[in-house]
Amino acid sequence: MIQYLSTRGSIRPVRFDEAVLSGFAADGGLFVPDKIPHFSLTALATMARQGYTGLAFGVIREFIDPALMPDADLAELIAKSFSGFEAPEVIPTVRLKDNLFVQELFHGPTLSFKDIAMGFLINCMDYFLQRRKERLSLVLATTGDTGPAAAYAAAGKTTLECWPLYPKGMISEEQERQMTTLGAENVHPVGVTGCKNGGDDLDVVVANLFANPEWKRDLKLSSVNSINWCRVLVQTIHYFHSYFQVVDHLGEEVVFSVPAGAFGNLCAGFFARSMGLPVKTFICATNDNATLHRVFAQGVLSQKELKQTVSSAIDIVIPYNFWRFLYFNCDGDAELINRFVSEFEAEGAVQFPEEIWTRYREGFRSTAVSDEETLATMREVFAQHDGYLLDPHGAVALAAVSKCDLGAHPEHKVICLATAHPAKFPAVVRQALDEAGALPEQATHPAIEAAKIQFHHLRTCRYEILETALTAAMRQRLDKTS
Ligand SMILES: *Cc1c(COP(=O)(O)O)cnc(C)c1O
């Protein structure tokens, strides 16, 4: 059975439940499976015939010891996690034209791609915690979509307290309301003012909490951000799923274009390819916060100041899942990873040796899409494809396809990952369509409308006092409910 190691190499192997409940490994690294299973295409095709949840069962089964979770329980957790999706096929893929497709990852309860892995992850945590008779506090920093997905999935779970932290004024009001109007007793959104680097500032506070062993123990800390292995695992499945929806014959190679922030989704794509999916190229599509573009195009991981863009969910300057991907491109050499991490932490930049850069960029292209290009793409697609409305992140993925010269491969099918519903970003839609009055119906959603006429339940604080105020509130809440 697969066990889990750390990218930093100094923990003993742990089981799936341990990896999922702790989030970070005890040595500060990211959990990685000790082997990657390989599926034959015919095996995958058979699983795909049972729909998205059938595929999910087949893939996830390989990563969890049945002694920890028997087949029937796994099937039930998967069914429960995806029952709130509004599309019957869970994740539809639509053809825009010819060989160009859009995979719609936003039909979950909070209308972003974060719902895909979050429901299963939180149901899994609840499952293991119930058996252990334990509780946890989830603390997470959000750039706008992780918070709502986690809040929704955790609402009402007696094993969990959920503390989403967000940079106030830097996410859309619609996203904020998705967290603050839930009214669940165990969900405590905190709007933080004065974050110069947006969500990255909040990540620092979260990392500080985890680095303090007393807090980690007393506050029962855990994390569901995209460093959690379970999220990467579940995100491999949509790559398989859309592959079988678009190809004409098994074995055909396809291209995926992915809007990338913390690199969780693309890292999952890399695992899907490692497990046997025929992918010709992954396009790593960033906005002007182009850390990942520099990683692929220049072989350098370097941190620059955050810029606020119209694709705010990928306004991220440190793509922490990159270490997980790099680990497999260095044959699991944890010592080497430690050297790179130390250099990055000390210097704010690391230039990778030529042979490592050459290896990890194999089958990857990258580009940075400006706000003007994003808005123009939304406008053009809307005009040319019957009012089909992309959200700004899906537009980044689509714009990246024409910016990246795919060379001599026009015959390959290209699948763009649309990661959010446009109704989460009405102000950007207005800007793109140059619309002063009412927005088109495609830019609205009943769940967003419902949240507009409910009370906010939230705490706010200044960035400087966040750590003090948060730890006190968390302790109080645990005392009150234990
Ligand atoms: C989180 C998110 C992304 C980026 O995914 P990563 O796994 O962080 O690279 C892209 N688009 C939207 C809408 C998101 O919420």
256 alpha-carbon distance from chain centroid: 16
- Model pLDDT, residue 118: 97
Token pair, residue 370, equals 């400006």
- Model pLDDT, residue 157: 97
Q: Which of 264, 259, 191 has the alpha carbon at shortest distance from 230?
A: 264
Residue 32 CA to residue 29 CA, distance in Å, equals 9
Residue 414 CA to residue 282 CA, distance in Å, equals 10
* 114-151 residue pLDDT tens: 999 999 999 999 999 999 999 999 999 988 899 999 99
Q: Is the pLDDT of residue 408 over 80?
A: no
CA 192 to ligand 1 center in whole angstroms: 21
Residues with catalytic function: 114
39 alpha-carbon distance from chain centroid: 24
- Model pLDDT, residue 383: 96
Q: Which of 224, 238, 265 to mutate to test the pocket of ligand 1 (most atoms within 8 A of CB)?
A: 265
SS3 content of the chain, % helix, strand, coil (to 5): 45, 15, 35
38 alpha-carbon distance from chain centroid: 23
Q: Which of 285, 281, 286 has the alpha carbon at shortest distance from 410?
A: 281
Cβ of 393 closer than 6 Å to ligand 1, yes or no, is yes
Cβ of 33 closer than 6 Å to ligand 1, yes or no, is no
Mean of pLDDT values over 212-218: 92
Residue 108 CA to residue 116 CA, distance in Å, equals 7
- Model pLDDT, residue 77: 98
3-state secondary structure of 319: coil
Ligand 1 atom, smallest distance to 262 CA: 8
Q: Is the pLDDT of residue 274 over 70?
A: yes
Average pLDDT, the chain: 95
Q: Which of 291, 268, 238 has the alpha carbon at shortest distance from 92?
A: 238
Residue 374 CA to residue 386 CA, distance in Å, equals 18
- Model pLDDT, residue 211: 85
- Model pLDDT, residue 390: 98
Cβ of 145 closer than 6 Å to ligand 1, yes or no, is yes
3-state secondary structure of 307: coil
Q: Is the pLDDT of residue 187 over 90?
A: yes
Residue 200 CA to residue 116 CA, distance in Å, equals 23
Helices within 40-172 (DSSP H only): 41-48, 51-61, 71-82, 114-132, 146-154
Residue 176 CA to residue 169 CA, distance in Å, equals 9
Ligand 1 atom, smallest distance to 235 CA: 7
Q: Is the pLDDT of residue 53 over 90?
A: yes
- Model pLDDT, residue 405: 78
* 299-329 residue pLDDT tens: 999 999 989 999 999 998 889 899 999 999 9
Q: How many CB atoms lie within 10 A of CB 460?
A: 12
Cβ of 392 closer than 6 Å to ligand 1, yes or no, is no
Q: Which of 140, 143, 393, 424 to mutate to test the pocket of ligand 1 (most atoms within 8 A of CB)?
A: 393
DSSP-assigned beta bridge partners for residue 302: 349
Residue 20 CA to residue 211 CA, distance in Å, equals 18
CB of 53 closer than 8 Å to CB of 84? no
DSSP-assigned beta bridge partners for residue 101: 95, 415
Q: Give the global pTM.
A: 0.95
Considering the chain, what percentage of its residues have pLDDT values greater than 70?
99
The one-letter amino acid code at 12 reads R
For the ranges 22-26, 138-142, 204-208, the one whose mean pLDDT is highest: 138-142
Which residues touch 339 (CB under 8 Å, ≥6 apart)?
Answer: none
Cβ of 195 closer than 6 Å to ligand 1, yes or no, is no
What letter does residue 24 receive in the DSSP assignment?
B
- Model pLDDT, residue 437: 80
- Model pLDDT, residue 409: 67
3-state secondary structure of 301: strand
- Model pLDDT, residue 226: 84
112: left (phi over 0), alpha (psi -120 to 50) or beta: beta
Q: Which of 142, 200, 156, 148 has the alpha carbon at shortest distance from 174?
A: 148
**What is the C-alpha R_g of the chain?**
21
- Model pLDDT, residue 411: 84
| First and final C-alpha spacing in the chain | 36
Exposure b/e, 113-122, CB count within 10 A at least 16 = b: bbbbbbbbbb
- Model pLDDT, residue 234: 98
